[in-house]
Amino acid sequence: MTGRKSSFAPVVDERTRVLILGSLPGEASLVAARYYANPRNQFWRLLGAVIAEDLVAQPYDERLETLLAHRVGLWDSIGSATRRGSLDAAIREIAPNPLATLAASLPDLRCVAFNGAKSASVGAPQLAGAGAFERLRLPSSSPAHAALAFDAKLEEWTKLRKFLA
């Protein structure tokens, strides 16, 4: 599927401490209208291990409720872009999301975590000088980033725990 793709609405509330930013939803996610819908994407497994919840076993709506209960929010660095397929390398004509505006609306925000290099390259400049929260670049949960084993990714993702305590 080619053409302009758009991100979903942010999943946050006033208690959000950690905001995880992807780049732009892949094809499976766009078709399902759900964050991280590709079953090969390790996002739900990684984050579930971080917060000690079996997110993979939960229905999607319950996953989102569980994230919010643990003070974790989701969004994407890219608001819309053109892309053929699901690879971040194919993203063109980027219109970023208003990340600084969202961050300013989250009084308890402690960390913005970028899920992968593309999210960081687009999102970090949007947040330059935007607040006292930390920025953390995580290894991508995408199946395209399979060179790094799950355990190695998890070691980095567990850094989120200190912001949730």
Q: What domains sit in the chain, N to C, each tagged with a CATH number?
A: 4-164 (3.40.470.10)
Please check whether residue 24 is in contact with residue 78, taking contact to mean a CB–CB distance below 8 angstroms. Answer: yes
State pTM to two decimals.
0.95
- What is the number of other CB atoms lying within 10 angstroms of the CB of residue 84? 12
User: Which residues does the annotation mark as catalytic?
Assistant: 41
Check pLDDT > 70 for residue 48. Answer: yes
Q: What's the rounded mean pLDDT across residues 7-19?
A: 98
H or E element, residue 124? helix 117-126
Q: What's the rounded mean pLDDT across residues 123-147?
A: 90
CA 52: distance to chain centroid? Answer: 18
**Distance separating alpha carbons of residues 75 and 46, to the nearest angstrom:** 16
pLDDT tier for residue 2 given thresholds of 50, 70 and 90 = low
Q: What's the rounded mean pLDDT across residues 66-90?
A: 90
Please check whether residue 98 is in contact with residue 130, taking contact to mean a CB–CB distance below 8 angstroms. Answer: no
Classify strands 4-6 and 78-82 as parallel, antiparallel or unpaired: antiparallel
Over residues 96-121, the pLDDT tens digits come to 999 999 999 999 999 999 999 999 99
Q: What's the rounded mean pLDDT across residues 11-25?
A: 97
Q: What is the mean pLDDT of the chain?
A: 94
Whole-number percent of the chain with pLDDT over 90? 82
Whole-number percent of the chain with pLDDT over 70? 97
The more confident residue out of 90 and 160 is 160
Burial classification of residue 1, based on how many CB atoms lie within 10 Å of its CB (0-12 exposed, 13-18 middle, 19 or more buried):
exposed
